[in-house]
Amino acid sequence: MNIPNSLTYEILRIVGSPFSARNLELSDKDFTLLYHYAIKNRMPLHFLEALSKFNRLNSLGEEYDRLRDRYAQIVQAISRISQALEEACVDYAFFKSIRPYREVTVDLDILIFGPRYQRVIKNTYHAGYIFLAGGPLSVTFRDVKAGINIDLYNEIGASRIIYLDKYMLRKFIVDKKLSNGKTVRTLDPCTDLVAVIAHSVLKEQMYVLSEYYTTLYSLANIKSTALSSLISLVEECRIRRAFQTHLGLSALLHQQVYGFTPECIMRLLRGKDFNSLEHSRVKEMNFPMPFKYHPITIAQAFEEKFRDVKARKSFAIQILNMLDPKFTSFAIRQLLSHLIRKTY
């Protein structure tokens, strides 16, 4: 069995899996290097909370306290913007922001439904949020109190390309109670996982360990009927290739560290080839995390996605806008940034 590189392997051992009972002893070594690896993989608080259970925070104790305070600030920010939207009678849902475990995030993503998007933008500005920037599919505000950006999405996409139809997700909105006792609207865990995976493969084009844990915790208590619903949603959204690639890598990591693949993941994969290209690459590269998807994988995922009418029309709009030299220059800079970055 090929063992993942030491940093990936150590993080997975320490944080554990909801599908495996942990029986682990840790030394008193300095875990600072491992912590920086967790930051690159967008899971610093989740890692430190695991360390704290072993009583091995040592020099990272102050950082743990800082992140817990930061998490509390983010929860308050979620409550504030939720209250502002509900007072304005906005049909909304958080997505990709409230993970099934405690974690700090760099921004909050909110999906706006209905025809009143421009009015929502004005209401948010009048509610005291600072307008930062506007794009074709979303606008960004700043919550000064919490020091966090809030992205309001009219459509889920990158540039002008829509990679998920928001109305396919609309029926899966649930109320979620936060740690401060407030209730907000968000996508149910499995539907949010669909959004996380689509974002990972089609927009960020990169797999990070925070998504691995989002996958595990989202599926940990899933029922058979919910599995069938999830498979149907993936097919309806035309992201089967992206979904199987991500799930296949998650299955491989779990198998390498714990010696088995969770049954729910195997049922979702349904015995299909989950992307032999990426399996070979991640093994040959010794399980580097974050892991960049191969261009062939991205092309195949978009080829499937463009069978969806809404996505295909948005791609045509993107091509038309490429006739503008300024827009083309910006798009090329964004593409180059994607190619050279180590994480997101």
- Say how far apart CA 80 and CA 73 lie, in whole Å: 11
pLDDT over 90 at 340, yes or no: no
**What pLDDT, on a 0 to 100 scale, did the predictor assign at position 271?**
60
pLDDT over 80 at 3, yes or no: no
Query: Average pLDDT of the chain?
Result: 92
- Say how far apart CA 50 and CA 31 lie, in whole Å: 12
- Say how far apart CA 241 and CA 235 lie, in whole Å: 10
**Inter-residue long-range contacts of 305-313, CB under 8 Å, 24+ positions, other chains counted:** 305/163, 305/202, 305/238, 305/239, 305/242, 307/238, 308/165, 308/237, 308/238, 310/162, 310/165, 311/161, 311/162, 311/163, 311/165, 311/238
| Other CB atoms within 10 A of residue 270 CB | 9
310 closest CA partner among 96, 160, 128:
160
* Residue 305 banded pLDDT, cuts 50, 70, 90: very high
Q: pLDDT tens digits, residue range 4-23?
A: 678 999 999 999 999 998 76
Question: Does the domain formed by 80-187 have CATH 3.30.460.40?
Answer: yes
**What pLDDT, on a 0 to 100 scale, did the predictor assign at position 339?**
66
* Residue 272 banded pLDDT, cuts 50, 70, 90: low
134's CB contacts (< 8 A; 6+ apart) are 121, 140
Backbone angles phi, psi at 112, to 5 degrees: -105, 125
Length of the chain: 344
- Say how far apart CA 225 and CA 167 lie, in whole Å: 21
- CA 286 to each of CA 6, 212, 280, 283: distance values in angstroms, whole numbers, following the listed order: 9, 17, 10, 5
Residue 169 near residue 187, CB atoms below 8 Å:
yes
**What pLDDT, on a 0 to 100 scale, did the predictor assign at position 240?**
95
* Residue 328 banded pLDDT, cuts 50, 70, 90: confident
Residue 42 near residue 208, CB atoms below 8 Å:
yes
- Say how far apart CA 240 and CA 305 lie, in whole Å: 9
* Residue 343 banded pLDDT, cuts 50, 70, 90: confident
Mean predicted confidence (pLDDT) in 321-342: 74
pTM, full prediction: 0.93
Q: pLDDT tens digits, residue range 108-167?
A: 999 999 888 999 999 999 999 999 999 899 999 999 999 999 999 999 998 899 999 999
Rg (C-alpha) for the chain, rounded Å, is: 20
- CA 226 to each of CA 172, 221, 284: distance values in angstroms, whole numbers, following the listed order: 11, 10, 35
Domain residue ranges in the chain: 80-187
- Say how far apart CA 193 and CA 198 lie, in whole Å: 8
Least confident of 33-47, 62-76, 238-252, 329-343: 329-343
331's CB contacts (< 8 A; 6+ apart) are 159, 322
* Residue 324 banded pLDDT, cuts 50, 70, 90: confident
**What pLDDT, on a 0 to 100 scale, did the predictor assign at position 4?**
64
Q: pLDDT tens digits, residue range 93-103?
A: 999 999 999 99
> 344 or 199: which carries more pLDDT confidence?
199
* Residue 274 banded pLDDT, cuts 50, 70, 90: low
pLDDT over 70 at 338, yes or no: no
**What pLDDT, on a 0 to 100 scale, did the predictor assign at position 200?**
96
User: Which amino acid makes up residue 186?
Assistant: T
pLDDT over 80 at 285, yes or no: yes
Mean predicted confidence (pLDDT) in 255-278: 85
